[in-house]
Amino acid sequence: MYKTNINLEEMSQKEAIEYLNETVKPDTGAIPAYLLGDPTIYDLEHKKVFLKTWVFIGHESEIPNKNDFITRDVSGYSVIISRGADNQIRGLYNMCTHRGMKLCRADAGNKSLFTCPYHGFNFKNNGDCVGIPLQKDIYGVDLDKSQLGLHKIRVESYKGLIFGTWNDEVESLDAFLGDFKWYIDIFAGRAEMEVMGPPQRFVIHSNWKIGADNFVGDSYHTMVTHGSIAKLGMVPSATYSKKGYQIHTNNGHGLNLGTPNPDFAFPEELKDEYKANLTEEQYEVLSNLKNMIGNIFPNLSFLISHTKIKGQLISNTSMRIWRPISVDKMEVITWFLVEKNAPEDWKRRSRESFILTFSPSGIFEQDDTEVFTDITAAASGTMPLVKQLTFNYTMGLHRKPVTEFVGPGVVYDDKFTEANQRNFYRYWLDLMTK
Amino acid sequence: MTIEKMLATYEFEQWLYQEAKLLDDIDFDGWFSLMHPSLKYQMPVRVNKEGTERPDYALDMYAFDDDIELLKIRVDRLKTDYAWAEIPPSRTRRLVNNVRLIDYKPNEKAVVNSYLMIYRSRSTDIHHDLISGERLDEFIFENGEWKLSKRFFIVDQTTINTRNLAIFV
């Protein structure tokens, strides 16, 4: 039933989708290698996943004041995320409507008006076209400026996390996140959170899905890939990462909850703020949390890490996107998040631990990128198709989810299973074959 | 320029060349012994600003933000059998130039500005990475030797074009 000498480039889109349906079997744990290395899949993914679903843009604390803006890439296109004079956050396609020039080339700033470097068309930060140089003289008539406003992207937020989508028909962000919000509350809504500093950016020769796969469900790799951390005494043992829960919900989202933790991983001073923001059950999870690693479909990964540095335990909270650049290349953009009301010394130590562990110089991070790069190289070209190389994702298939956990979703009572990756690929396949 | 300053400039050029050699030869212990206990080792995140607003790097986020203890953790980690990011070690070539003595008190302290270009090659990968930037270094003279007490590396890219910073700058 498999075709040999497959060349996806020669297939129509319909045939490529049929081939995906024949070969990708999330429910039985068979994920073919070509998904990570084939350019046709990458192009299809851009249309069927990244232009169709919600993707992460940034955090509201990056634009706290009126007229603040950031520029971000949303599924391959530059977007200005601006807080208007009316305090509303908008997403504007960073393209002049006259001739298509990029309007703004700074990463961030504060301005109410954007002027095109090509012919000087002026746009307010709500998208309205408000000025055209020499208009009456050269156009002869009053141009209808209302037809020349900037293209808008749909933008919605949850607990300070700003997401955007190019798809006007997609379900609301609230519905897309669904049950997963229960866990996002703990990660991003437990207290007033803020992003400290600009995000870090670096490039890896890797397919973006390897990053998402790693964060959504792969606690198993930490024993070996991050073996150095146990050797350095920063975590108690190599099998430290097995204990806890693996949880997934609809739409491909999933996380790994490390628990229990005899120590409280967060600033003690904020216990009242946490209790005010969380339900009793969520606070219970937070109190016992050792770490939390997850992925919001498709490419926003988040992390609460808790390690011993200089003899002291400290947690750090971060998030990152795996921004696809090409089939074998992605930009990793990482943000450090911290409780706004935490003591200054705690914030400084938490940032220090983030930089040491999960920034581009991070001693956890750097070993992952080595693995991601080599996997991508091995999955590239036609051989994985011709030989039908398929990865085994059957870990935990024999297990039944537990029902006594306090949070929603499908829950397993330790972290070493591949249920979350199967869930990720099931939703990915749904979108790709729709 | 006085003869004294010329000689001092030469001395710090040689110091920086020797440091580059130790790192390129993967002698991390030798390199670490050049550091002063009060070390501050920082690499701020570079940002795109509109116009000529300065500084165009972050004052609150860094790719490195180490003191002597954190730097020691990195050096120790590279000696475990699990530091995959440097197995096999990167081939690096550090080119140091434009060395300028900014401030100098003989047998006491010095501030030195230099440019750095790092060529990095990993394993069988035919790609190479280039990391370029400017360093502002401070030195303290102790027990007859100049020790590095502060390094501030301003990288030239906002998106760093190397898979990680498992190497030192």
Residues of A with Cβ-Cβ distance to B81 under 8 angstroms: 227
Residue to substitute from B80, B164, B165, B167, interface A, most A β-carbons within 10 A: B164
Report whether pLDDT(A3) > 70: no
What residue in A sits closest to B158 (Cα-Cα)? A201
Rounded average pLDDT over B51-71: 94
Look at B73 and A363 and tell me if their CB atoms are within 8 Å.
yes
Band of residue A358 on the pLDDT scale cut at 50, 70, 90: very high
What residue in A sits closest to B89 (Cα-Cα)? A370
Number of H helices, E strands in chain B: 3, 6
Short-list B114, B9, B82, B86, CA closest to A224: B82
What residue in B sits closest to A204 (Cα-Cα)? B163
Q: Please count the residues of chain A.
A: 434
Each residue of A160-206: pLDDT tens digit? 999 999 999 999 999 999 999 999 999 999 999 999 999 999 999 99
Residues of A with Cβ-Cβ distance to B45 under 8 angstroms: 197-201
Would you tell me which residues 77-106 of chain B have a C-beta closer than 8 angstroms to some C-beta of chain A?
77, 80-85, 87
Report whether pLDDT(A249) > 70: yes
Report whether pLDDT(B55) > 70: yes
Report whether pLDDT(A230) > 80: no
Rounded average pLDDT over A123-152: 92
Report whether pLDDT(A226) > 90: no
Six-digit token string for A280: 């009793």
Residue A377 or A2, more confident: A377
Q: What is the pLDDT of residue B61?
A: 98
Under a CB-based contact definition with an 8 Å cutoff, are residues A111 and A117 in contact? no
Look at A363 and B62 and tell me if their CB atoms are within 8 Å.
no
Q: B75 CB near a chain A CB, below 8 Å?
A: no
Look at A355 and B62 and tell me if their CB atoms are within 8 Å.
yes
Band of residue A1 on the pLDDT scale cut at 50, 70, 90: very low
Percentage, residues of chain A above pLDDT 70: 99
What residue in A sits closest to B51 (Cα-Cα)? A106
Six-digit token string for A393: 């994702």
Residues of A with Cβ-Cβ distance to B85 under 8 angstroms: 366-367, 369-370
Under a CB-based contact definition with an 8 Å cutoff, are residues A204 and A292 in contact? no
* Nearest CA distance, B91 vs chain A (angstrom): 15
Distances in Å between the Cα of B148 and the Cα atoms of A181, B7, B59, B154 are 48, 19, 21, 17
Give the rounded distance of the alpha carbon of A305 from its chain centre.
17
Under a CB-based contact definition with an 8 Å cutoff, are residues B117 and B169 in contact? no
Under a CB-based contact definition with an 8 Å cutoff, are residues B100 and B113 in contact? yes
User: Which of B60, B80, B159 lies nearest to residue A331, judging by beta carbons?
Assistant: B159
Report whether pLDDT(A2) > 60: no
Q: B130 CB near a chain A CB, below 8 Å?
A: no
Residues of A with Cβ-Cβ distance to B127 under 8 angstroms: 205
Name beta bridge partners: A391. A31
Report whether pLDDT(A159) > 60: yes
Q: What is the pLDDT of residue A238?
A: 67
The Cβ of residue A149 has, within 10 Å, a number of other Cβ atoms equal to 16
Rg (CA), chain A: 23
Considering Cα of A398, then A400, then A405, then A409, what sign does the dihedral take?
A: positive
Q: What is the pLDDT of residue A68?
A: 97
Total beta-carbon pairs less than 8 A apart between chain A and chain B: 123
Q: What is the pLDDT of residue B116?
A: 98
Phi/psi at B73 (nearest 5 deg)?
-60, -45
What residue in B sits closest to A347 (Cα-Cα)? B60
Band of residue A4 on the pLDDT scale cut at 50, 70, 90: low
Residues of B with Cβ-Cβ distance to A198 under 8 angstroms: 45, 47, 58, 61
Q: What is the pLDDT of residue A239?
A: 73
Look at B80 and A106 and tell me if their CB atoms are within 8 Å.
no
Name beta bridge partners: A66. none
3-state secondary structure A13-44: HHHHHHHHHHHCEHHHCEEEHHHHCCHHHHHH
Residues of B with Cβ-Cβ distance to A73 under 8 angstroms: none
Give the rounded distance of the alpha carbon of A173 from its chain centre.
14
Q: What is the pLDDT of residue B51?
A: 80
Give the SS3 label for residue A365: helix
User: Which of A200, A228, A361 lies nearest to residue B61, judging by beta carbons?
Assistant: A200
Q: B33 CB near a chain A CB, below 8 Å?
A: no
User: Which of B47, B50, B70 lies nearest to residue A198, judging by beta carbons?
Assistant: B47
Distances in Å between the Cα of A326 and the Cα atoms of A8, A39, A164, A226 are 17, 8, 21, 27
User: Which of A109, A198, A336 lies nearest to residue B50, judging by beta carbons?
Assistant: A109
Q: B68 CB near a chain A CB, below 8 Å?
A: no
Give the SS3 label for residue A281: helix
Report whether pLDDT(A240) > 80: no
How many CA atoms within 13 Å lie on the side-chain side of B49?
10
Each residue of B13-33: pLDDT tens digit? 999 999 999 999 999 999 999
Under a CB-based contact definition with an 8 Å cutoff, are residues A421 and A35 in contact? no
Query: What string of DSSP letters covers A60-84?
Result: GGGS-STTEEEEEEETTEEEEEEE-
Rounded average pLDDT over B84-98: 94
Q: What is the pLDDT of residue A255?
A: 98
User: Which of B47, B69, B164 lies nearest to residue A365, judging by beta carbons?
Assistant: B164
Q: What is the mean pLDDT of chain A?
A: 94
Residue B65 or A239, more confident: B65
CA distance A170 to A178: 14
Residue to substitute from B163, B165, B168, B169, interface A, most A β-carbons within 10 A: B163
* Nearest CA distance, A204 vs chain B (angstrom): 5
Rounded average pLDDT over A145-164: 97
Each residue of A292-324: pLDDT tens digit? 999 999 999 999 999 999 999 999 999 999 999
Which residue spans within A119-275 are E strands per DSSP? 122-124, 129-131, 152-158, 161-165, 193-195, 200-204, 243-248, 254-258
Short-list A38, A24, A31, CA closest to A328: A38
Phi/psi at A52 (nearest 5 deg)?
-105, -30
Each residue of A93-113: pLDDT tens digit? 999 999 999 999 999 999 999
Residues of B with Cβ-Cβ distance to A331 under 8 angstroms: 159
Each residue of B129-162: pLDDT tens digit? 999 999 999 999 999 999 999 999 999 999 999 9
CA distance A243 to A292: 12
Rounded average pLDDT over A122-142: 92
* Nearest CA distance, B64 vs chain A (angstrom): 6
* Nearest CA distance, A355 vs chain B (angstrom): 6
Look at B163 and A197 and tell me if their CB atoms are within 8 Å.
no
Q: pTM for this one?
A: 0.95
Residue to substitute from B84, B120, B156, B158, interface A, most A β-carbons within 10 A: B84
Look at A370 and B49 and tell me if their CB atoms are within 8 Å.
no
Which residue spans within chain B are E strands per DSSP? 35-46, 57-66, 91-105, 109-121, 129-142, 145-155
What residue in B sits closest to A349 (Cα-Cα)? B65
Under a CB-based contact definition with an 8 Å cutoff, are residues B71 and A356 in contact? no
Residue to substitute from A80, A201, A347, interface B, most B β-carbons within 10 A: A201
Which residues are CB-neighbours of A159 under 8 A, at least 6 positions away? Answer: A181, A184, A185, A188, A189, A193
